[in-house]
Each structure stands twice: as structure tokens, then as C-alpha cells.
Amino acid sequence: MKVTIFGSGYVGLVTGTCFADAGNDVVCVDIDAERVAQLQRGEVPIYEPGLDEMLSFNQEEGRLRFTTNAAEGVHHGLFQFIAVGTPSDEDGSADLQHVLAVARTIGQHMDDYRVVVDKSTVPVGTADRVRAAVGEELAARGEQLEYDVVSNPEFLKEGAAIDDFVKPDRIIIGSDNPRTGELMKALYAPFNRSHDRLIAMDVRSAELTKYASNAMLATKISFMNELSNLAERLGADIEQVRVGMGSDPRIGYHFIYPGCGYGGSCFPKDVKALTHTAHEYGYQPELLEAVESVNARQKQVLVHRLHAHFGEDLGGRTFGLWGLAFKPNTDDMREAPSRVVMEALWEAGARVQAYDPEAMDEAERIYGNRQDLELCDNLYDAVEDADALIVCTEWQVFRSPDFERIRDALRQPVVFDGRNVYPPSMMEALGFTYYGMGRGE
Ligand code: UGA
């Protein structure tokens, strides 16, 4: 089948590459000429395990092409996926200018029936606006071509996106026309084999399903973070509580890990956008607002703890920080807890020696000109002569380091563990002063 994907960002690239890998003929369109040139050379501008190889392979096979030519893209695909960015506006609402610009482009160039698919995470009601934008452009050309607009939200996790795409938990198809539902089902057939994972529904419900899912997951995390702060004050250990709670299948073990807050490009943005939508419709979303404010507060917990240990003035202090990315297996630092911690440390006069297995280039891009940040080549350089070690992300490689080497390298053997990577008793036995999250100190 012929597929066009607008937007060669994270979602667009994974979607386009996976469709090509299933045998479809895919054209990806992006307005960023430099990015397109890079992709044409087979260079993938994002870090996602397995994507490089899959992309190059399908490009060589001639099933995956990149272009800046939007008209070519519109002529190519029966399916026109919109996978462009929807950044947060200052008020927290999703900025739809890129989505609607693509819709207008489709209306300007289409010459036959098209299925327009909203893949970007967009507020409820966006499909109606996309439909209207395409229609206006057609009317301006005096054309009366048929088209449908479908909501098909993505549920990809960074670091596991390919697997999530080819082995999805669910494929949500929001469509108000049964014919389009059938076409989408055929397109997704290669990823819908062992049992039917396709869930068809109306467009608005599909749009809300995406926000509802992310908001639920963010709620679980904020709930656990709230409980971890309480456990600490009560002399209980949240990690034992977590295991005890998760054994109830109605609660489950997933997404109940306490920590130094959730980050990334999705949860913070989507919770804010859903909150904004609620207000727009005259509803006060008290729980969603609390999820967001608990998370903002949680990102400060490590900072407060550092001050409680070292005092308010951190001038002359150096801290080793492990984990810059917002979670393991990505180089993405958007809304990462590490940034809140580092910025607070700098504010209080301290230096940071940081290490991350993948996010060093990204840190260089964001903070490269700072004198009070040293980006280190490995985990041990980051703790050399530092006053303490702070762990912000639970990368696998941080789990079993050479503790004696760390203890000897640090000026003082103090560890602030924002992800509960280490057992407190073991750390104490190794001679560290150890602070975890919600561990009953
Ligand atoms: C999230 C969702 O998990 C995906 O299903 C969704 O498709 C995606 O957003 C999206 O909307 O595009 P992602 O942001 O890549 O995926 O990362 P997650 O693995 O969900 O982690 C988000 C944050 O929550 C991370 O900072 C992580 O450290 C934190 N987290 C996660 C916790 O603090 N505790 C947990 O138990 C789980």
C-alpha cells in the first residue's frame, strides 16, 4: 500500500520505517531540508534502538524515501499520516499550527480519495479541524474530492518504539466512516496477527483515549511519589510497599516505581494539555492538576535533600551526577529530572560532573557553554573528587558499579539515589551515607 508520513520526527520515523518494513511503499515528508538530506544518507537523527538498521535496509530496498516535496507526498499515499510536532503553548494547550498546515497542504495538492490520519497526539476535536482545513483548501480550488479523517494515536515508548509498533498492545482506530476503518485494518494487518488488537471507535473517543492513557500512567507515578514522601515520614519503605501493592492484579506492578519525577516529551505535555482542554470545556480537573503539581514538587525532592545534607550554600561543592536522559535507553532530556537538579545546584553555586550512556551530545547541545558543568567520559570520572553522587536515571550500567572505586573517588561517601537503584542496607554496609526515595530514613 502507498503511505505518506508528514513529519520525520520520532513518531513519523518509527511509523514510516515500520510500515516500509512490512512491505508498504512509504514516502516521508519533512520541511527541514537538512534533516531530509541526513535521512537520505541513511543517518538517523534520533537515538532509538534498532531504528538505524531497519531504516537503512528499507531505504536500500527502495520502500522508504525522504523528501521535502509536500506535493509529491500528497500524490503518493492513499494514507496521509500527520506525525508532526504539537508543542505546548505557554498556557499548556497543544499548538496545532503544524498539524493544520499539513492538513491544508493535503487539501491543496490531493487529486484523488485520501485517508488523512492524525498520528500526532492532538486534543479532542482536532480531527474536525483537520477535516475543515482540508475541505477549505479543496473548496478554494473548486474541487469536490472525497476524503476521510481518522484518529490513530500512537502508543510508542522511547527506547522500545519499534517493538511497540510491530507488537502493539492495541491499535486504536477512530473513524466515523466504516470504509476507512476497513482500509486502516488492512494497513495494520501485518501488526495484528496473533489476535485482534484493533479497537475501532468514534473519532473523539480515539483522541481522548490517547490522553486518558498517558494521564492514567502519570497518575500512577504521582500517586506512588506522594506515597513515597509519606512512607519516608512514617518510617516505612516504599519499595516494600510497592511490592505488596503490585501483587494485587487490580493494581499491578507496572508504573508504580517511585522516583525523582516523570519527564519526557509526553507525560508532562499531555497532562497539561488535557488539563487545559478540561478548563476550556468548563470543567475543573482537580486530579489532573494534582498529578502535575505533585510531579513538579517531586523533581525538587533531591534538591531539598542535598540542601538538608550540605546546607543552603553549595559554593565550592562538586556533585557527580549519573543519568541525564529522562529515562534509560534514550538520549532525550526533555523535562528530565536531571535538569531540575543541575539547575538548582548551579543556582546554589555548585559544579556538576555528569555522565550518561547516551545523552552526552544532547547535554552538550543544551548546556555546552556552562563553566560549571563537566561532561565526563565515564561513570567513574564523574565521581572523582565530588562531594556526593546523585543518580537521576536508572540505566542498567549504573546498577552494579565498582562501589569501592566510587567510595574512594568521592570526597565524602554520600549517594543520593533518585531512582532507588541500590538497596539501602548494602550501601550502608559499603560505608556510604545513602539517601533513597521514600525509604524510611
Ligand atoms: C510514554 C508512554 O509510556 C507511552 O505509552 C506513550 O506512547 C508515550 O509516552 C507517548 O505519548 O508518546 P515515554 O514518555 O517514552 O512513553 O516514557 P515512559 O517509559 O512512559 O516514562 C515516562 C517517565 O515516567 C520517565 O521519566 C520515567 O522515569 C517515569 N516513570 C515511569 C516513573 O517515574 N515511574 C514508573 O513507574 C514508570
Indicate which residue's Cα is closest to atom 18 of ligand 1.
Answer: 157
Mean pLDDT within 286-297: 98
**Domain 211-297: which topology?**
N-(1-d-carboxylethyl)-l-norvaline Dehydrogenase; domain 2 (1.10.1040)
Tell me, in angstroms, the distance from the centre of ligand 1 to residue 89's CA. Answer: 21
**214 C-beta closer than 6 A to ligand 1:** yes
**211 C-beta closer than 6 A to ligand 1:** no
SS3 of 147, please? strand
pLDDT at 194: 82
* CATH number of 2-201, picked from 2.60.40.10, 3.40.50.720, 1.20.1260.10, 3.40.50.300: 3.40.50.720
pLDDT at 30: 98
The closest of 159, 162, 181, 163 to 172, measured between CA atoms, is: 181
261 CA closest ligand 1 atom index: 33
Question: Could you give the CA distance from residue 305 to residue 244 in angstroms, rounded to a whole number?
Answer: 27
Indicate the range of 20-34, 82-96, 160-174, 179-193 predicted with least confidence. Answer: 82-96
CB-count exposure of residue 332 (10 Å: 0-12, 13-18, 19+): buried
Q: Which pLDDT band holds residue 89 (cuts at 50, 70, 90)?
A: confident
Question: Could you give the CA distance from residue 226 to residue 119 in angstroms, rounded to a whole number?
Answer: 33
First and final C-alpha spacing in the chain: 59
Structural domain boundaries in the chain: 2-201, 211-297, 299-435
393 CA closest ligand 1 atom index: 28
Mean pLDDT within 148-173: 96
SS3 of 10, please? helix
Question: Could you give the CA distance from residue 263 to residue 296 in angstroms, rounded to a whole number?
Answer: 10
Task: Dump pLDDT digits (tens) for 260-279.
Answer: 999 998 999 999 999 999 99
Please give the grid coordinates belonging to residue 383.
565521581
Indicate which residue's Cα is closest to atom 2 of ligand 1.
Answer: 157
Decide if pLDDT at 190 tops 60: yes
Indicate which residue's Cα is closest to atom 24 of ligand 1.
Answer: 262
Mutate to test the pocket of ligand 1, among 86, 157, 333 (most ligand atoms within 8 A of CB): 157
Please give the grid coordinates belonging to residue 16.
514510516
The strands making up 373-375's β-sheet, listed across from edge to edge, are 373-375, 351-355, 318-322, 388-391, 414-417, 433-435
Decide if pLDDT at 155 tops 90: yes
Mean confidence (pLDDT) of the chain: 96
Question: Could you give the CA distance from residue 84 to residue 63 in angstroms, rounded to a whole number?
Answer: 21
**158 C-beta closer than 6 A to ligand 1:** yes
Q: Which pLDDT band holds residue 91 (cuts at 50, 70, 90)?
A: confident
pLDDT at 106: 98
Which positions ≥6 away from 305 have C-beta within 8 Å? Answer: 416, 435
DSSP one-letter code for 396: G
pLDDT at 249: 97
pLDDT at 26: 98
State the alpha helices, DSSP H only, in 322-423.
337-347, 360-367, 379-383, 403-409
For the four alpha carbons of 35, 36, 37 and 39, in that order, the dihedral sign comes to positive
121 CA closest ligand 1 atom index: 11
Task: Dump pLDDT digits (tens) for 222-260.
Answer: 999 999 999 999 999 999 999 999 999 999 999 999 999
**223 C-beta closer than 6 A to ligand 1:** no
Catalytic residue ranges:
266
Task: Dump pLDDT digits (tens) for 340-371.
Answer: 999 999 999 999 999 999 999 999 999 998 99
Cα 264 to Cα 331, 336, 354, 358, 408: the distances in Å are 10, 6, 19, 15, 34
Same fold, 2-201 and 299-435: yes
What's CA 358's distance to the chain center, in Å?
A: 15
Buried b (16+ CB within 10 A) or exposed e, 346-364: bebebbbbbbbbbbbebbe
Decide if pLDDT at 441 tops 60: no
Decide if domain 299-435 falls under CATH 2.60.40.60: no
Q: Which residues are annotated as a binding site?
A: 30, 35, 86, 121, 155-158, 210, 255-259, 263, 269, 327, 334
Decide if pLDDT at 318 tops 90: yes
Question: Could you give the CA distance from residue 68 to residue 73 in angstroms, rounded to a whole number?
Answer: 9
Mean pLDDT within 137-148: 97
Q: Write the ipTM.
A: 0.95
Question: Could you give the CA distance from residue 237 to residue 389 in angstroms, rounded to a whole number?
Answer: 21
213 CA closest ligand 1 atom index: 5
Q: Which amino acid is located at 388 in the chain?
A: A
Indicate which residue's Cα is closest to atom 16 of ligand 1.
Answer: 157
Please give the grid coordinates belonging to residue 271.
497532562
Q: Which pLDDT band holds residue 180 (cuts at 50, 70, 90)?
A: very high
pLDDT at 93: 86
**291 C-beta closer than 6 A to ligand 1:** no
Cα 247 to Cα 240, 244, 298: the distances in Å are 11, 6, 25
Indicate which residue's Cα is closest to atom 23 of ligand 1.
Answer: 262
How would you classify residue 415: left for phi > 0, otherwise alpha for psi between -120 and 50, otherwise beta?
beta
How would you classify residue 255: left for phi > 0, otherwise alpha for psi between -120 and 50, otherwise beta?
left
